[in-house]
Structure 1
Amino acid sequence: MKTFLLLLWGFTSQRDTLPDLQHLHYQVAAAPEWNSLFTRSSGWFGGDGIFSIPVNAPDSDSTLFLFSDTMTGHICNGQLQPGSSMIHNSVAILKGKAPLEKNIQFYWNRDHQGKPATLFEPRTPQATPGDYYWLGDGFVNTALHNSTYIFAYRMRNISQKDFGFAEVGNVLIVLPPNSRPPYTRQRQLDTPLLLPADSSTGAGSFGAGIFVNTKAAGAPNPDGYVYVYGVRGQQKMVLVARVLPADIEHFGKWRFWDGRQWNTDIHQAAAVTAHASNELSLTPLKDGRYALVFQVDGMGSAVGLRLGASPAGPFGPVIKIWECPEVKEDKRFFVYNAKAHPRLSKPGELLISYNVNAFDFFQVLPQHPQLYRPRFIKLIFPAQEE
């Protein structure tokens, strides 16, 4: 465990009006109990994503984990067994908040031959055969009968340029209260929250992270809005939208931060910061500041944090809180999509995950069959900064 005192400079002209966005006192350590929970050898044995949201049942203390591309199969004596397969999304439900193997269950679909199949399949008017979903963040909407709203990115395989896929649609999946896998009563809504690339800026999409700033969600300074974060372009610029929970399906009532005010035009959304990742989180700290957690530069080697004055910023400089050791083990490995899990964090701590993957994935996986799973660290704050 290492202790850091960061002395970073900036925002001096606004020193009297902004909180300190430069300094953070903390300790950082691996979270082996959470790493162990997702080190598995049968059934689900790997996946990326891992957003954590409440289960939408009355008085439930359970957590729903959302995964995108998922590996299923068996590992025996460290060897990947024949018959493993990749599906495009899955979920898990953890009873309680402790990382206990006996309390977690993973879910996916089965096809007509009984083989593993993707849990959420595109069913919207804009979907075409061959499209699939990767999952974004989600939340339980207490203003709409405790339905769960989950962002989904409608993906399509293209030529082998870059990674060979592209996002072609942004979708909300709606799960009625008390829903359980396989979610047969789900609804799916096409949204206008995908920004195409233009001559100067790459494509962008919303759903990378959600902060529910409501009294019902226990936010410390609630204003009643749900804040939804987007990421755009190769510089991983962060965009911010907000909407009242009751209006989430009324896209004309969404507002986008343009750098000065909340604007009705999504095309006026301004970057509040950059060098983030396609998945991230925004968490209020007890001292009134906000922690934006992400992977630096999308697939950089460090988990990063920026301190914010509000859910829409301004944000301070990058604080590199953890150098991911996996990238030093093998040059084919990369790390991405760090985010915090406040509902699973102990008092005075903030649990954070990041994903590990590999270039030439299907060639590397037999050599490292448990590579493709989330890793966890925790920030430990001094009592005065919890």
Structure 2
Amino acid sequence: MRRKDAVYITKSLANKMYFEKRLHMKTNVGFYVLVVAIMAGCTQNAQHSEEATAAGGYDEYSASRLVTKPVAAWSEMLRHDTGWIGADGIYCTSLNGVDKPGQLNANSETMFWFSDCILGNIDTQADTLNGAWQMMNNSIAYFTGDEPNPNKITYHWRKDSTGKPISMFEPHTAKAQPGNYYWLGDGFLNHAMDSTLYIFAYLIRNIPGSIYPFEDIGVSLIALPKGSRPPFANQQQFDTPLFFTDAKGKTVFGICVLPNTKGAGAPKPDGYVYVYGVRGLSKELLVARVPDNAFEDFTAWRFWDGMGWNTDMHSCAALTDNISNEMSVSFMPDGRVIAAYQLKTSATSVVVAAGATPWGPFQPAKKVWDTPETYDDLDFYTYNAKAHPSLSKPGELLISYNVNSFDFLDDIVKHPYHLRPRFISVKY
């Protein structure tokens, strides 16, 4: 190598090192300035928040956040020591049919319905079951008021000829076979059909030996005429076409109902009832709709295919996925909707997702809660979160989720309080 070339290379390397050093310094300085600016902004926001709070004023920063907290009063309302001591599959509706936050008062009546209900007696000193217990596949309850109160809720089930408690609703359709039973889906009060209360019911059969020893084999519709009371002797039951399996997987409708009607208090009513379904292993969310005055006419139902509404339920487009088999979609005051569900049915994450319309598009889901009960016992799991808009306060969603155990027969004795819904409130 010639000396001239060596000098040139040496100078070039020196220049390169110099400029890299300068660039590194500038980058560090820029990063430092950015960090200082962010910290200053955070400090300013914190000071603003503290000043606003101290002055009793409006805090635009805290008001814009999603805030989630447990609501022990609602959870404790469903905690009892004798008789009805627990259940899952919780749904409810106000008996005036208005399905929006802030509409209850001290005289309002709400009907709950549950699946897999436990009757028994709990030894409150030992915190264990005392004596025999019994499971029913479903029951109902009536609650009066606008604030949770265990003295204002009454539970109901039927009894057989010997006085033994039995489920409130048992299958009586053409498709039902001996030994089948109902778990209950969502429902609503339909003002356009003489205030009939409709409840979707999943037809279930047992499969011994499986980790989940049961399977759903159909969807029925229960119609309770206006003013009906237990034991609902005048109820009607219908088989529906809302359950099928094709190349995309098993599809089940009835997991969620959204009445977009004036009677339900919808902000921008269009006269349709939107009924949601779940499809396949990916837990895809689907939607159908029907005019409220044609709810029992399944030829009037239309299914969203991503572009429009048509009669082919097999062409349904997925609105989102990884939902839970029970969930909710409810209106926000501005006419948009908000979905609430448990991620992948039984993960520990409770999430919400905003949608532009009842048929989407939906934003990506946001996690708002991690269910702590899952960590109370190795076998505990939580599932099927959903909102109850009629029980919620304005600007909030009251959300329930279920607690259960993979070692059910042992844990129902050792931890009898665990099998009941828990509640959280999400301010948005």
TM-score computed with the length of structure 1 as normaliser: 0.89
Match of 1:39 in 2: 79
In 2, Cα distance between the equivalents of 1:244 and 1:357? Answer: 37
Match of 2:324 in 1: 277
Match of 2:344 in 1: 297
Match of 2:135 in 1: 86
Q: Give yes or no for the alignment of 1:311 onto 2:358.
A: yes
Q: Percent identity?
A: 47
- In the alignment, residue 173 of structure 1 is paired with which amino acid? I
Number of residue equivalences: 356
Gaps of 5+ in 1: 1-23, 382-386
| 8 Å Cα contact 1:56/1:179 also seen in 2 | no
In 1, Cα distance between the equivalents of 2:73 and 2:180? Answer: 36
User: Secondary structure in 2 aligned to 1:25?
Assistant: coil
In 2, Cα distance between the equivalents of 1:118 and 1:255? Answer: 33
Residue deviations 1:139-195 (CA, integer Å, cap 9, x gap): 111111101110000101124234121111110000010011111110000000002
Q: How far apart are residue 277 of structure 1 and its match? A: 0.2
Q: Give yes or no for the alignment of 1:194 onto 2:243.
A: yes
| 8 Å Cα contact 1:136/1:151 also seen in 2 | yes
Q: Which moved more, 1:108-117 or 1:225-234?
A: 108-117
In 1, Cα distance between the equivalents of 2:116 and 2:278? Answer: 19
Q: Give yes or no for the alignment of 1:212 onto 2:259.
A: yes
In 2, Cα distance between the equivalents of 1:66 and 1:79? Answer: 25
Aligned partner (choices 334, 354, 357) of residue 381 of structure 2:
334
Q: How far apart are residue 328 of structure 1 and its match? A: 1.7
| 8 Å Cα contact 1:304/1:318 also seen in 2 | yes
Q: How far apart are residue 288 of structure 1 and its match? A: 3.5
Q: How far apart are residue 260 of structure 1 and its match? A: 0.9
In 2, Cα distance between the equivalents of 1:45 and 1:250? Answer: 38
- In the alignment, residue 168 of structure 1 is paired with which amino acid? I
Match of 2:123 in 1: 76
Q: How far apart are residue 41 of structure 1 and its match? A: 1.1
Matches for 1:22-61 after TM superposition, within 5 Å: 25-55=65-95, 61=108
| 8 Å Cα contact 2:68/2:427 also seen in 1 | yes
In 1, Cα distance between the equivalents of 2:336 and 2:257? Answer: 16
In 2, Cα distance between the equivalents of 1:365 and 1:175? Answer: 32
In 1, Cα distance between the equivalents of 2:146 and 2:256? Answer: 21
In 2, Cα distance between the equivalents of 1:349 and 1:56? Answer: 20
TM-score computed with the length of structure 2 as normaliser: 0.81
- In the alignment, residue 375 of structure 2 is paired with which amino acid? K
Matches for 1:140-151 after TM superposition, within 5 Å: 140-151=189-200
Structure having the larger proportion of residues in helix: 2
- In the alignment, residue 218 of structure 1 is paired with which amino acid? G
User: Secondary structure in 1 aligned to 2:66?
Assistant: strand
In 1, Cα distance between the equivalents of 2:305 and 2:319? Answer: 9
Q: Which moved more, 1:288-297 or 1:274-283?
A: 288-297
User: Secondary structure in 1 aligned to 2:413?
Assistant: coil
User: Secondary structure in 1 aligned to 2:414?
Assistant: coil
Q: How far apart are residue 287 of structure 1 and its match? A: 3.5
| 8 Å Cα contact 2:92/2:388 also seen in 1 | yes
Match of 2:226 in 1: 177
Measured on the aligned residues, the alpha-carbon RMSD in Å equals: 1.6
In 2, Cα distance between the equivalents of 1:27 and 1:81? Answer: 39
Match of 2:41 in 1: none
| 8 Å Cα contact 1:69/1:89 also seen in 2 | yes
User: Secondary structure in 1 aligned to 2:170?
Assistant: coil
Match of 1:111 in 2: 160
In 2, Cα distance between the equivalents of 1:169 and 1:231? Answer: 13
User: Secondary structure in 2 aligned to 1:88?
Assistant: strand
Aligned partner (choices 198, 203, 206) of residue 154 of structure 1:
203
Aligned partner (choices 291, 298, 312) of residue 265 of structure 1:
312
User: Secondary structure in 2 aligned to 1:71?
Assistant: strand
User: Secondary structure in 2 aligned to 1:203?
Assistant: strand
Match of 1:123 in 2: 172
In 2, Cα distance between the equivalents of 1:245 and 1:160? Answer: 42
In 2, Cα distance between the equivalents of 1:45 and 1:162? Answer: 24
Q: Give yes or no for the alignment of 1:256 onto 2:296.
A: no
In 2, Cα distance between the equivalents of 1:356 and 1:309? Answer: 31
Match of 2:403 in 1: 356
| 8 Å Cα contact 1:68/1:89 also seen in 2 | yes
Distance 1:167 1:330, change over 3 A: same
In 2, Cα distance between the equivalents of 1:182 and 1:84? Answer: 22
